Amino acid sequence: MTAQAELRSPFRVSKRLAFTGLLLPAVGVITIFMIAPVAIVFVYSFLEPARYGGVVWNFSVEGYLQILFERDFVDGSLQFSADYLVILWRSVFQAAICTVLCLMISVPTAYFIATRSERTKPIWIFLITVPYWVNLLIRTIALLFILRDDGPLNKAIMMTGLTTSPLPLSYNNFAIGLGLVYSFLPFMVLPLYSAFERFDFRLLEAAYDLYASRRVAFFKIVLPVMRPGLIAGSLLVFIPSIGSYLAPDILGGGKTLMIGNLIGTQFQGAHNWPFGAALSMILLTVTLIVLIWMARRSARKNTGY
């Protein structure tokens, strides 16, 4: 009888069953359909492109070189080209701006929600949670709907008489930036809220007792204590912003691309799989480095006490 071995496991499942019967299916599915595909992308990033999608099995770093250089058609020499670098830079820049804006809105909002009464708090949280889960495509369409040249916002502005022609609110970098904020704002508010909720408000009382003004108390006490939460929230916005596809695609009108769209294009129209694979690897590497750094940080913090 294996009963003795099972006694101490929480659901009294034998070790063998736990691994083969319970854990293996989920881990197996992810390994086969997620990890293996990413590995294939890694391999493809070092191959040559076939003419109509797919790859030719010759080793090549052309995919990575293409990010910085353009190959001359005539003599095949490499010439520096900033085209793709601009797109990468735009992705980082847009994501950074988006993160800062989200911080500026989220910190007061999350703090405000955390200091509501137990009765009104759930309502506020529900209000923030709904957009978090509602279809991103539809939310992006909704934003485009009001930003259009003849959309409600432009109409309202023209009605005030400030301008007679519609302002260019859509199909540009401004629209993409706003779209990113609109997409990922809830990603920041919710974790910040749970961080603020753990904040010990007696610290504020102590600060006021020691003659701090409200302003000083907020910047010298609240924000420094909340630092880990602010960093976590920022990453939760920054990471999906960089790789975002829908906001630039729909609000940018296809003109001003970000890396996500550039990758997508390689597999849809442009048929340069190795180049797309190389870009994917770069995006993935950046993301994983940031995530691992964050995990290390929080792990160190937890053991530090």
Partner 1 sequence: MANARMKDIRAFSGFGSIAVAGVLFLYLPILFLCVYSFNDGRSVSQWSGFSFRWYITVFGNSGIKAAAMNSLTIATIAASVSTVLALGAAMATVNRRFKGETLAYATLTFPLMVPEIVTAVASLVFFVSLGVRLGFSTILIAHIVFCIPFAYLPIRARLEGMDATLNAAAADLYASPIRAFWRITLPLLAPGLMSGWLLAFIISLDDFIITALVAGPGSTTLPLHIYGMLRLGITPEVNAISTMMLVGSIVLLAIAGVLGRSSKNS
Partner 2 sequence: MVIAAFRRNTALGSDEQVRVERSSGETAPAIQIAAEVTGLQKIYNPSTPQAFQALKDINLTIRSNEFFTLLGPSGCGKTTLLRILGGFEAMTEGTCRIFGQDVSLLPPEARPVNTVFQQYALFPHMTVRRNIAFGLEMLGRPKSEVASVVDRMLALVSMTDYADRKPDHLSGGQRQRVALARALAPQPKLLLLDEPLSALDLKLRQKMRLELKALQRETGITFIFVTHDQEEALAMSDRVAVLSDGRLQQVGTPEEIYEQPQSRFVADFIGESNLLCATVNRIDGALVEFRLAGLGSVNLNCSEILQVGQEVTLSIRPERIALSAVRGQCGLGPAVIFDRTYLGNAVEYHLRAGEQTLTVRSPRGGLRGLQDFAPGDSVFLAFEPNAPKVLTT
1-20: contacts with partner 2 (CB under 8 A): 1, 3-8, 12
**Shortest separation between residue 1's beta carbon and partner 2, angstroms:** 6
Q: Scan residues 260-289 and list those touching partner 1 (CB under 8 A).
A: 260, 263-264, 266-268, 273, 276-277, 280, 283-284, 287-288
Determine, following the binding rule CB under 8 A, whether residue 186 of this chain makes contact with partner 1.
Answer: yes
CB of 166 to partner 1, least distance (A): 11
Residue 303 near partner 2 by CB under 8 A: no
Cβ count near 7 (within 10 Å) = 8
Closer of 4 and 117 to partner 2 (Cβ): 4
Other Cβ atoms less than 10 A from the Cβ of 148: the count is 17
Residue 198 CB, nearest distance to partner 1 (Å)?
A: 14
Q: How many residues contact partner 1, by CB under 8 A?
A: 94
**Residue from the set 56, 120, 155, 289 that interacts with partner 1 by CB under 8 A:** 155
User: Is the CB of 11 or the CB of 57 nearer to partner 2?
Assistant: 11
Nearest approach, Cβ of residue 10 and partner 2 (Å): 11
CB of residue 33 vs partner 1: minimum separation in angstroms? Answer: 5
**Residue span binding partner 1 (CB under 8 A) among the ranges 4-12, 63-71, 77-85, 226-234:** 4-12
Shortest approach of partner 1 to residue 133 CB, angstroms?
Answer: 5
Query: Quick one: what does residue 166 bind among partner 1, partner 2, none, with the CB cut-off 5 to 8 Å set by partner type?
Result: none
Return the one option of partner 1, partner 2, none that residue 5 interacts with (CB less than 5 to 8 A, by type): partner 2
Residues 217-256 touching partner 1, rule: CB under 8 A, are 218, 239-240, 242-243, 245-246, 250
Residue 295 corresponds to which tokens in the numbers above?
């995990």
Q: Please, which residue, 65 or 264, has the CB nearer to partner 1?
A: 264
Closest residue by Cα to residue 68 from 48, 88, 85, 49:
85
Q: Which does 4 bind (CB under 5 to 8 A by kind): partner 2, partner 1, none?
A: partner 2
SS (H, E, C) the chain: CCHHHHCCCCCCCCHHHHHHHHHHHHHHHHHHHHHHHHHHHHHHCCCEECCCCCEECCCCCHHHHHHHEEECCCCCCEEECCHHHHHHHHHHHHHHHHHHHHHHHHHHHHHHHHCCCCCCHHHHHHHHHHHHHCCHHHHHHHHHHHHCCCCHHHHHHHHCCCCCCCCCCCCCHHHHHHHHHHHHHHHHHHHHHHHHHCCCCHHHHHHHHCCCCHHHHHHHHHHHHCHHHHHHHHHHHHHHHHCCCHHHHHHCCCCCCCHHHHHHHHHHCCCCHHHHHHHHHHHHHHHHHHHHHHHHHHHHHHHHC
The reply on whether position 143 binds partner 1 by CB under 8 A is: yes
Binding interface with partner 2 (CB under 8 A): 1, 3-8, 12
